[in-house]
Amino acid sequence: MSDSATNGHDAARAALPPDAGDGTRAVRAGLPEPVKHEPTLPGPVFAAHFHLPGDPTGPYTYGRDENPTWTLLERAIGGLEAPGRDDVETLVFASGMAAISSVLFSQVKAGDVVVLPSDGYQVLPLVRAQLEAYGVEVRTAPTGQDAQLDVLDGARLLWIETPSNPGLDVCDVRRLAEAAHARGALVAVDNTLATPLGQRPLELGADFVVASGTKQLTGHGDILLGYVAGRTGEPMTAVRRWRKIVGAIPGPMEAWLAHRSLATLQLRADRQNATALRVAEALRSRPEVTGLRYPGLPDDPSHEIASRQMRRYGCVVSFTLPSRARADRFLDALRLVDDATSFGGVRSTAERRGRWGGDAVPEGFVRLSVGAEDPEDLVADLLRALDASAG
């Protein structure tokens, strides 16, 4: 394989018109300069070390630091999170939590203040405990109504999750970022639920965008991956250094599978988002369903803010059934929806979120991830399962 196909640092970016659509960007994202007789997307590079005579210069020296397959994927994700910008750096990680940890633990030290969402991903309480063990003060506030504004004074880092998981509240990223920067704080946004096709936090003022690529970004439920993107400079240098120290790196096969999957992101996202809206509309008519949340519903509490900053509303719908037993019967009656955790895959999944014990949700709370099935089939299955679970 030629250097131009493997060396992502030297390969020319595929030329895209500045107004290229999401589908065009997703299909072309991160591809190297075409080389005759070589694949358009080179296969994974499996290497712990590289030929390195003389001084250790150049992009690839050791497999924990860089890999050509990562480079192409990082360029691809960066092209979706920050299209047309040359000042943004992207780093991939072994999982979403590896990416989250890299930002938090590379940017703060003992005595600093971090603001986290109180209604975010269920592992955040474990993160809080670890930060506090290191002498970091942690404050929390809900995502909705921009409540984190009230606890920003003196903060070093503001962590935003919007839409929140699993409650699907949305906050005004631009407003929060401006307020945080005015107080000297950095801003990180977890973009997992939205994906870069749903919103671009860097354009809204965030310093970091972080996500689990395990979810809708790659969409097939077969790899673990995370990434961090941010403006080139010392903060991102610190994130890269943390990745090197901790070694939380993806395997080349996972990176290649992720890059391959990006090509269908726009197709998957459009289908899943449209079906999620139809599902939410169908569930809204059921008397046993309460607390229904989907930012795409015109009457959802977050719809107005979401419409200002999001281009797609996501594939997750949440709602509550009257009891734990009713929710369990409903999940057991589903035929086209797997009872499984995670979200964003082409096959629909749902779970009673309270079974994990880490989310402040009612016992009958259900998080539903809408897949790529025919919407009529999926809606019919959900309504049938509600009927079957009523007894």
pLDDT digits (tens, 9 = 90+) for 264-304: 999 999 999 999 999 999 999 999 999 999 999 999 999 99
* Mean predicted confidence (pLDDT) in 371-384: 98
HSE, side-chain direction, 13 A CA sphere, residue 247:
4
d(CA 139, CA 126): 14
* Mean predicted confidence (pLDDT) in 22-39: 95
Q: Does 8 have pLDDT greater than 60?
A: no
* Mean predicted confidence (pLDDT) in 327-356: 96
* Token reading at 388: 């079957």
* Token reading at 90: 């992207």
Task: Quick: pLDDT tens for 64-114.
Answer: 999 999 999 999 999 999 999 999 999 999 999 999 999 999 999 999 999
pLDDT at 61: 94
* Token reading at 118: 């109180």
* Mean predicted confidence (pLDDT) in 250-273: 98
pLDDT at 120: 95
Contact status, residue 318 vs residue 368, Cβ threshold 8 Å: yes
pLDDT at 47: 96
Distances (CA, A) of 133 to 98, 125, 127, 323: 18, 12, 10, 37
CA-based diameter of the chain, in Å?
75
Q: Does 2 have pLDDT greater than 90?
A: no
d(CA 191, CA 301): 20
pLDDT at 13: 47
Residue 5 confidence class, pLDDT cut points 50, 70, 90: very low
Contacts of 53 (CB under 8 A, 6+ apart): none
Task: Quick: pLDDT tens for 147-191.
Answer: 999 999 999 999 999 999 999 999 999 999 999 999 999 999 999
Query: Among 14-18, 205-209, 243-247, which is the least confidently predicted range?
Result: 14-18
Q: Helices 324-333 and 375-388, interaxial angle, to 10°?
A: 130
Task: Quick: pLDDT tens for 305-321.
Answer: 999 999 999 999 999 99
pLDDT at 19: 87
Residue-wise DSSP of 350-385: EEEGGGGS-S---TTEEEEE--SS-HHHHHHHHHHH
Contacts of 245 (CB under 8 A, 6+ apart): none
Assign 307 to helix, strand or coil. helix
pLDDT at 207: 98
pLDDT at 15: 66
Instruction: Name the pTM for this structure.
Output: 0.94
Task: Quick: pLDDT tens for 195-221.
Answer: 999 999 999 999 999 999 999 999 999
> Average per-residue pLDDT in the chain?
95
Handedness of CA 216, 265, 97, 49 (dihedral sign): positive
